[in-house]
Every structure is written in structure tokens, then in C-alpha cells.
């Protein structure tokens, strides 16, 4: 009798438990090469399981070359086992650790520095940049779709190579979703699926920007985009952002002095200030694009979250000349780890972006994309957004009230119409960096504010993400923030 223990309560399938147990006994010499194993019927009776489960275990062992079947004789341990012992390469000198540097030169000026460091300790609470609450993510629905694919005969199709442009099902459903929610009346051929919006920004920068080209960005602005443009060789022209968005008089002043290749804008909840580009300025921007011949890269990272009123439609919805490239993502809709972004543009640009994407990432994750397509088709994403909007709206109000109660004379802020963060300013000549350092000592992770402005000046501005914390957690976070602010001396940096 073979000493095999089967536990049906484990997550590991029974047939794999059997196969692993037999491999273990072969490796340790309990079962020798050439030994005959019990027949499938005999072993099934011994373990009190179905015969087909034993057959599945034997098929697994055969596939791994541990056993072989001899016709009319039975199942035997293979003569040549799949154990390969590595041989060391003769070394000219002893090497105890992997070298820290390459023998050849690596250009250190080709990539931007990492912006964030790992905290020395695990914080009690975190005011992030404005991320969704992963506890609300519809993971059960996503898992349901994965299980559904596991039962379909065509599952193998989605485990092979697929289109570099992304799942056709997802692009069709996404085109419908964008048409209904944003009035973007394109088709699947106008969409490229990417791994988050950052990949989309990178692809556009590589396609449109040549070294020395002028790119206009807002200041304060999103450093993730600025870094991408500079890596492509762009020279950035920063224009101010006020309560109505980008200063378009400043934009036109740049256009009169230089030939502008691209303008990057976040019209719906500008990052980091959360302001919305006014309708008048949107029309003015489209007109300037036509007049001076520059492309508009519209980043709409959190369009789905709005509380005070209906959102203003994207620039791309009013663009009839093919000047606007639209970028969005489900990373903020569901969770940062759900890496599905999308690029919407005229077909000729999508074709070129697809070719480039294929060079760096052959394709996306087919099963995830097919699952997302079904969630869109079934209305699950729309229902999730409605629920999340209600919860995030409540959390925005909680945070704003806590800031009024605990920091009324220490911080100024505006109540955002949507999004997942509050843009605020410390008063009394207190810098964000000083507050961040003091907060870290108290167990609160809050941004230092050093990446908001292009020239990385010391500022008193702060972006407080509220969506990922419930009311009790927000109360704890604001309590720690208030203590940190009150502990900082005016003028400290």
C-alpha cells in the first residue's frame, strides 16, 4: 500500500496531491526507478476516491516524465527521471554575491529618479494621492468571470497569443461604455488597451515627441506625465493653473514664441489641484489646437467620480478634427492592481501605437480583459460606480468636516466637485515637507508636496486622498495630521 494522504479540504486538487506525493517518494528513494505502481483502479480503492482522479494524477506524472506506461504491463517509474543537477561554470575568481554593477556602461541620464521611497515603518494611516478603496473592488464578480472561462471549451483560445490592440470583446464593450458615459462615439478600432494610463502616456510620447520638441504642461501638474515627456526628449513649457484650469492666455503666448508639438491636460479634476477646466476654456483650447497645429493629450484618470453635479464632457467628445488623444483607466475605477487602461484616438494613431506597444509588451492579459468585457456588458461596472460614488461622496464630506473641526486655522482647502482627493494649503508658513516628516514619526503617511511643481520648490500645498479610508480611519488620520501640523514650527523646512 502506497503511503499517500489525501485531504479534500485543501485548495490543491486531489489529483495533484497524489502526483506530488508520488514524486516525493521517488525523489527520496522510497520508490525506485523501474518500480511498478498500482493500477488506477487499485489505487482509487485504496484512497477511497474516483478512478478518474487517479488517472488524472498519472497523466500529470506522465506529462512531467516521472512515470511511463508499458502496454499490457502497467505503470512504471521512468528509467530517466526529470531531475537535472546543475553544473557550475568554472570561475576565474571566487564570486560570493551577484555584482552590484555591470561591466559595461549604463546611462543613468535616460530615466527619471524614483519619486517615492519605502517608509521605514508601517504607518497607522495613509493619506495617499487619491486611490480607490480596494475593499470595495468587485473582486467576487471578477472571480466569477474567471471561473466562467474555466468551464468553457474555448478557454484555451484566451491562453494563447491574442491581438496586441487588446481583446476585441473589451474594445467593443468599452466603445459602448464610453459612448454612453462620455459621448465618445468611436468604435473598437479607435481603442488600444494598455496596462494603465501610464503606458498610454508613454506610447504617445514615444510616437509624437522628438528630441527638442516643445510640450506644454500645467504647473502644478502630474510628474508622471512630465517625466515621460522629458524622457522622450521634450522641452517642457509650464503654464499656471488657476480655479478654472489651464491659463490659456499663457498657452497662446507660448504658441506665439515656439512651435508646440503637444499639450497635456487633465480637464476633469486636474492633478494635483482637482480643479475642472471650464467649458469656455475647453472650446478655446480646441480652437488654439487647430490654429497652432498641436496635439492635445487628454488624461481623464477619474472621470467616473463626481458628486456636486454632472461631469463636464471630455474634450475628445467635442473634437471633430482628430486633434485630441484620450487616455483613461480602470485602475482608479476598481483597484490600482487591475492594470487596464485605454487610449482612444483616430485609427492611424491607434495602429502606430499598437505596433509600438507590441515591441515592449506583446499583448495584455487576455483573461482579465475578457472578464472586464463581461463586467461592462452585464452592467456590473456601472453598478459598482454608482455604489462607489455614493460612498466616496460621503467620505469627501467626512474629511472636509474633520478638517474644519480640527484644523480650521491651520489649513485652507476647497471642497472638490469630484475625484478622490482634497487639495489644501497649510497656513502660517508651514511647509508640506516639515509636516510630512513629523507625521511619519507619529505613524501617518502624508505626501511631502515636493513633486507637485515642476521645479520642485518647497511648498505648503498638500493633496489628501480620502477614498481609501472609511469614516473611522479618516478621523484617526486627521487627528494625527492635526497633531503633526501643530508640532511643526513656522518656517521649518
Domain ranges of the chain: 14-77, 125-132+387-487, 139-378
State what percent of residues in the chain have pLDDT above 70.
93
What is the overall mean pLDDT for the chain? 89
State what percent of residues in the chain have pLDDT above 90.
59
Enumerate helices (H) and strands (E) in the chain, giving the number of each.
15, 16
Query: Given pLDDT bands bounded at 50, 70 and 90, which one contains residue 377?
Result: very high
Tens of pLDDT, residue by residue over 307-329, are: 877 788 999 999 888 999 999 99
Tens of pLDDT, residue by residue over 185-242, are: 999 999 999 999 999 999 999 999 999 999 999 999 999 999 999 999 999 999 999 9
Alpha-carbon torsion (199, 365, 269, 462), positive or negative: negative
Average pLDDT over residues 390-394: 95
139-378 in CATH: which number? 3.40.640.10
pTM, 2 dp: 0.80
CA dist., res. 488 & res. 491, Å (int): 9
Average pLDDT over residues 480-490: 92
* 61 within 8 A of 24, measured Cβ to Cβ: no
CA dist., res. 464 & res. 484, Å (int): 14
125-132+387-487 in CATH: which number? 3.90.1150.10
pLDDT at 300: 92
Query: Given pLDDT bands bounded at 50, 70 and 90, which one contains residue 252?
Result: very high
Query: Given pLDDT bands bounded at 50, 70 and 90, which one contains residue 34?
Result: confident
pLDDT at 485: 95
Using the structure block, give the residue that is written with the C-alpha cell 454608482. Answer: 386
Would you state the cell numbers that stand for residue 91, as one nine-digit string? 570561475
Fold classified for 14-77: Arc Repressor Mutant, subunit A (1.10.10)
pLDDT at 102: 78
16-20, 151-155, 417-421, 451-455: which range is least confident on average?
151-155
Query: Given pLDDT bands bounded at 50, 70 and 90, which one contains residue 103?
Result: confident
Domain 125-132+387-487 identical in fold to domain 139-378 = no
Alpha-carbon torsion (386, 388, 389, 390), positive or negative: positive
Query: Given pLDDT bands bounded at 50, 70 and 90, which one contains residue 363?
Result: confident
Amino acid at each position: 500500500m502506497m503511503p499517500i494522504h489525501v485531504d479534500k479540504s485543501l485548495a490543491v486538487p486531489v489529483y495533484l496531491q497524489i502526483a506530488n506525493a508520488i514524486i516525493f517518494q521517488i525523489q527520496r528513494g522510497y520508490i525506485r526507478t523501474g518500480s511498478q505502481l498500482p493500477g488506477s483502479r487499485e489505487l482509487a480503492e485504496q484512497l477511497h476516491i474516483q478512478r478518474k482522479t487517479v488517472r488524472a494524477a498519472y497523466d500529470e506524472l506522465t506529462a512531467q516524465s516521472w512515470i511511463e506506461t508499458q502496454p499490457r504491463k502497467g505503470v512504471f517509474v521512468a528509467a530517466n527521471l526529470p531531475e537535472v543537477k546543475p553544473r557550475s561554470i568554472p570561475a576565474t575568481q571566487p564570486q560570493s554575491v551577484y555584482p552590484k554593477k555591470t561591466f559595461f556602461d549604463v546611462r543613468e541620464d535616460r530615466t527619471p529618479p524614483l519619486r517615492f521611497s519605502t517608509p521605514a515603518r508601517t504607518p497607522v494611516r495613509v493619506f495617499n494621492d487619491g486611490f480607490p478603496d480596494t475593499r470595495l473592488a468587485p473582486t467576487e464578480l471578477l472571480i466569477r468571470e474567471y471561473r466562467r472561462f474555466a468551464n468553457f471549451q474555448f478557454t484555451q483560445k484566451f491562453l494563447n497569443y491574442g491581438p496586441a490592440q487588446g481583446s476585441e470583446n473589451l474594445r467593443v464593450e468599452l466603445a459602448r461604455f464610453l459612448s454612453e458615459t462620455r459621448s465618445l462615439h468611436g468604435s473598437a478600432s479607435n481603442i488600444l488597451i494598455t496596462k494603465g494610463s501610464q503606458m498610454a502616456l508613454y506610447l504617445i510620447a514615444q510616437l509624437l515627441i522628438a528630441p527638442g520638441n516643445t510640450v506644454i504642461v500645467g504647473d502644478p501638474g502630474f510628474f508622471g506625465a512630465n517625466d515621460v515627456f522629458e524622457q522622450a526628449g521634450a522641452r517642457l513649457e509650464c503654464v499656471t493653473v488657476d480655479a478654472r484650469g489651464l491659463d490659456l492666455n499663457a498657452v497662446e503666448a507660448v504658441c506665439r514664441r515656439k512651435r508646440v508639438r503637444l499639450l497635456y491636460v487633465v480637464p476633469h479634476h486636474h492633478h494635483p489641484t482637482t480643479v475642472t477646466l471650464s467649458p469656455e476654456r475647453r472650446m478655446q483650447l480646441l480652437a488654439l489646437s487647430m490654429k497652432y497645429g498641436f496635439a492635445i493629450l487628454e488624461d481623464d484618470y477619474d472621470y467616473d467620480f463626481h458628486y456636486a453635479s454632472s461631469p463636464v464632457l471630455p474634450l475628445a467628445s467635442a473634437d471633430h478634427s482628430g486633434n485630441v488623444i484620450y487616455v483613461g483607466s480602470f485602475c482608479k475605477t476598481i483597484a490600482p492592481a487591475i492594470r487596464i487602461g485605454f487610449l482612444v484616438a483616430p485609427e492611424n494613431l491607434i495602429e502606430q501605437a499598437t505596433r509600438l506597444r507590441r515591441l515592449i509588451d506583446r499583448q495584455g492579459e487576455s483573461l482579465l480583459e475578457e472578464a472586464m468585457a463581461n463586467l461592462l456588458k452585464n452592467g456590473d461596472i456601472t453598478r459598482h460606480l454608482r455604489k462607489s460614488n455614493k460612498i466616496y461622496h460621503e467620505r469627501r464630506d467626512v474629511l472636509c468636516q474633520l478638517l474644519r473641526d480640527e484644523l480650521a486655522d491651520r489649513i485652507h482647502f476647497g471642497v472638490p466637485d469630484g475625484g478622490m482627493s482634497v487639495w489644501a494649503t497649510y497656513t502660517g508658513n508651514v511647509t508640506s515637507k516639515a509636516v510630512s516628516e513629523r507625521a511619519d514619526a507619529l505613524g501617518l503617511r502624508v505626501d511631502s508636496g515636493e513633486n507637485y511643481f515642476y521645479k520642485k520648490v518647497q511648498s505648503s500645498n498638500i493633496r489628501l486622498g480620502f477614498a481609501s479610508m472609511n469614516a473611522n480611519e479618516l478621523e484617526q488620520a486627521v487627528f494625527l495630521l492635526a497633531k503633526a501640523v501643530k508640532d511643526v514650527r513656522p518656517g521649518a523646512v
